[in-house]
Structure 1
Amino acid sequence: MQIDGETKIVVIVGDPVAQAKSPELFNALFERYGVNAALVPLQVPPAKLGAVLDGLRGIVNLAGVVVIVPHKIAAAAYAADLSDAARQTGSVNCLRREMDGTWFGAMFDGIGFVKGLDACELIVRDKSVLLVGTGGAGAGVAHALVDAGVASLDLFDSNTESLQRLERALRSRGGTTLIRRSMPAAQAAHDFIVNATPCGMRANDPLPIDLTGAHPDAVVADLIMKPAQTRLLEDARARGLATHLGRYLLESSVETMAAFLRLVP
């Protein structure tokens, strides 16, 4: 990769940010397309997010910002306009810098997750899903699962306000998907069990979901990308359950995000 005065910059903001896989995937994509662009990580504490985003708006050769935990909901407030998915979920995972220095926010987590399942020949239509974690990524995944036609979606979050917000948003859509509150415990009826919390990033984190009651044919998915094999996925494998890695979400959305940033065709 060559950095020069014409390089377009993308940054990824999170706290922590060391676990992010975006730099290697985006930079490999830029190299493959022969695009003079680079993505670099910035660790930004929540209290500094506004100041950082306001400052980045003034950088003319900045294409945009990839947004990860815990900023996806907070960052949406800094966007002058939002995509349908971002407006629907109230969160963003990508901000594009427009010519006038304003941010346009979009959310690709949900569609990336469903595309990642499709790529692995895992079909969610008419299936029952347990989703634990209703923050920015969880909300994106929840809406995408409803779009994909799941029969039922059981939700849990220890943050009652976040859980209620997502429940209201999903029920206001109408449709046939059954939306229910649940506990963070797999049931025999669940075809897919999804962790959308950050619990599992650290080695001493507790298991976010109890898999004791899981059906033998259930698929356990974790949105965490580092470590690739979280404690939840290790527990699932030990029980003989199929697993779905977090990296599939990003791998299935990185090109779409780069196109949104106007860096690839």
Structure 2
Amino acid sequence: MICVTLGRGRHRTLLEEWGQAAEAGAELVELRIDCLRSEINLKRLLTDRRTPIVFTVRRGADGGLWRGNEEKRLLLLREAIVTGVEYVDLELDIAKSIPRFGKTKRIVSYHNFRETPADLDTIAEQAREANADVVKIATMAKSVADASRILEAAARSSEKVPTVGIAMGPLGVFTRVLGRKFGAPFTFAGFNPERIFAPGMLQFDELRRDYGYERINAQTEVYAVLGDPIAHSLSPAVHNAAFQKLGINAVYVPLLIPNGKLRDSLDLLSWLDIKGMSVTIPHKEAILPMLRQADGAVDRLKACNTVVIKDKVWTGHNTDYHAAMGVLEEAYGGATSDEVSVLMDKQVLILGAGGVARTIAYGLSRRGAGVAITNRDDERAARVAAEVGCRHISWAARASTPCDILINGTPVGMHPNVDESPVPPAAFRAGMVVFDTIYHPENTMFLKLARERECRTISGVDMFVRQAALQFTLFTGKNAPDDLMRQVVARKLGVTRD
């Protein structure tokens, strides 16, 4: 179950938002009474309850907004229990002073917004001994190790009393999703994106739709995307939708892993028995020493964006490479019958000299295209061109260099700088194929200018969906629901676009 946390300054506003949450499908709501700024009227709040509730009056020391004295706070908690609320949240240090009464279930909670203590098992035991129906431990994760420890501790505690273990902050987002697999009775989510009650808290609709939270159980297999940053990745929504569509009991979560911490972090998370991983910046090269097997593209490019784990054997793949070549060949009708690429002898100019530019340049060169790379840093362009085996041109000459295919491998034009293009309008000529690897927004200024000049265009969404579909097939052995994946991307971009 997902518990939706609500907290507003006025009774009327809180009641209105509670009604909206109920209409949206919330089955349990945490009322943060400490957020109310006026004299608290429990009768007004609790007489006609829209859903079952968790009654919470959080102190400032525990991340709350309570302004009154402690005696009054404890009185409110006792009064709520007498009225028969479904759950009451009692902090560990005061839980024993408030006796059990009626049918109200007791959540005995511990919050630490500074760190994750070493003695998590002791804290969980103390909470259980305080007559808890549910134990809740929420601590700030300063490392992947912290996040892993709290999820493991909650899993152990759930064997005795249902336990919610949350690692707060961006490093612990996955704990908010995977807790259900390890016995948590619910997780906490926001409802209004403008009101965040704890670092890393996900939204109700996000947990329900993008992660399929209610489908998760002890047998659910875990997949993940690794990177830094990772918060705005579309991959969880895309892969989880595909799992649900095909009835596969699996969940795909984001793992924020800082640069230089990859091996140590994955060792710490090995107990999750992750079955497959998407690998993004900055780990595409760092993952290589951890692979036992790799496909040809990984060997050639020295970069891996997909890992399949079977019988503890890690096999690396590069679906970026195959996806980019696929969308470009499709633009020309696909490979010919004698396996000679339709891209042979096409003249290509690639803007940028980063990982995606290098990948595409290598693939096109192998297919017999004439490839040139350009970058604001001429030395970097020259170095990448030498590694790939193509030529480079100066950035100043990019608009005047004739080509059949023009590819943007730079971040220019990415949200929020949507009015920018890496080349002026003069760079486009009718009939060219123009490919932008950026997918947010899908319709970049680069592509708009190209279409205005009668060019054929390929968006970053085309490449993203194709590489995600290839990953999905590698993960599951099943054909990916490509159309659904594209619909999910369109929905997510529509939600986030200004």
Shorter chain as normaliser: what TM range?
A: 0.7 to 0.9
Match of 1:253 among 467, 479, 482: 467
Aligned residues: 255
Q: Secondary structure at the match of 1:88?
A: helix
The reply to whether residue 91 of structure 1 matches residue 303 of structure 2 is yes
Q: What's the counterpart of residue 241 of structure 1?
A: 455
Q: What's the counterpart of residue 176 of structure 1?
A: none
Q: Is the 8 A contact 2:228 2:259 kept in 1?
A: yes
Q: What's the counterpart of residue 175 of structure 1?
A: none
Are the structure 2 counterparts of residues 99 and 161 from structure 1 closer, same or farther at C-alpha, using a change threshold of 3 Å?
A: farther
Q: What's the counterpart of residue 82 of structure 2?
A: none
Task: Please identify, of 14-23 and 161-170, the stretch whose mean Cα deviation from structure 2 is larger.
Answer: 161-170
Letter in 1 for 2:281: V
Which whole-Å CA distance do the structure 1 matches of 2:262 and 2:415 have between them?
Answer: 23
Q: What's the counterpart of residue 432 of structure 2?
A: 218
**Cα deviations by residue, 1:126-145 (Å, 9 ceiling, x for unpaired):** 21111123333222222222
Return the offset for 1:66.
0.6
Q: What's the counterpart of residue 267 of structure 2?
A: 54
Rg larger in structure: 2
Task: Please identify, of 160-169 and 37-46, the stretch whose mean Cα deviation from structure 2 is larger.
Answer: 160-169
Which whole-Å CA distance do the structure 2 matches of 1:165 and 1:58 have between them?
Answer: 41
Task: Please identify, of 154-163 and 236-245, the stretch whose mean Cα deviation from structure 2 is larger.
Answer: 154-163
Which whole-Å CA distance do the structure 1 matches of 2:375 and 2:265 have between them?
Answer: 29
Q: What's the counterpart of residue 324 of structure 2?
A: 113
Q: Is the 8 A contact 1:46 1:70 kept in 2?
A: yes
**Cα deviations by residue, 1:111-166 (Å, 9 ceiling, x for unpaired):** 1112123444465332111112333322222222233332x000124466764554
Task: Please identify, of 218-227 and 238-247, the stretch whose mean Cα deviation from structure 2 is larger.
Answer: 238-247
Which whole-Å CA distance do the structure 2 matches of 1:250 and 1:30 have between them?
Answer: 17
**Cα deviations by residue, 1:17-66 (Å, 9 ceiling, x for unpaired):** 34433223322322333221222223333244443333344432x11211
Letter in 1 for 2:439: M
Q: What's the counterpart of residue 281 of structure 2?
A: 69
Q: What's the counterpart of residue 10 of structure 1?
A: 223
Gaps of 5+ in 2: 1-211, 334-341, 480-498
In the superposition, the TM-score normalised over structure 2's length comes to: 0.46
Q: Is the 8 A contact 1:107 1:140 kept in 2?
A: no
Match of 2:240 among 19, 27, 30: 27
In the superposition, the TM-score normalised over structure 1's length comes to: 0.81
Q: Secondary structure at the match of 2:272?
A: coil
Which whole-Å CA distance do the structure 1 matches of 2:349 and 2:457 have between them?
Answer: 14
Letter in 2 for 1:146: S
Q: What's the counterpart of residue 441 of structure 2?
A: 227
Letter in 2 for 1:256: L
Return the offset for 1:85.
0.4
Which whole-Å CA distance do the structure 1 matches of 2:331 and 2:267 have between them?
Answer: 39
Q: Is the 8 A contact 1:108 1:140 kept in 2?
A: no
Which whole-Å CA distance do the structure 1 matches of 2:431 and 2:267 have between them?
Answer: 48
Letter in 2 for 1:117: L
The reply to whether residue 133 of structure 1 matches residue 374 of structure 2 is no
Letter in 2 for 1:222: D
Return the offset for 1:186.
3.6
Q: What's the counterpart of residue 408 of structure 2?
A: 195
Return the offset for 1:240.
4.3
Task: Please identify, of 28-37 and 221-230, the stretch whose mean Cα deviation from structure 2 is larger.
Answer: 28-37
Are the structure 2 counterparts of residues 89 and 239 from structure 1 closer, same or farther at C-alpha, using a change threshold of 3 Å?
A: same
**Cα deviations by residue, 1:72-97 (Å, 9 ceiling, x for unpaired):** 23333443432210111111111223
Q: Secondary structure at the match of 2:255?
A: strand
The answer to which structure, 1 or 2, has the higher relative contact order (CA under 8 A, 6+ apart) is 1
Question: Where is the helix percentage greater, Structure 1 or Structure 2?
Answer: 2
Which whole-Å CA distance do the structure 2 matches of 1:19 and 1:232 have between them?
Answer: 22
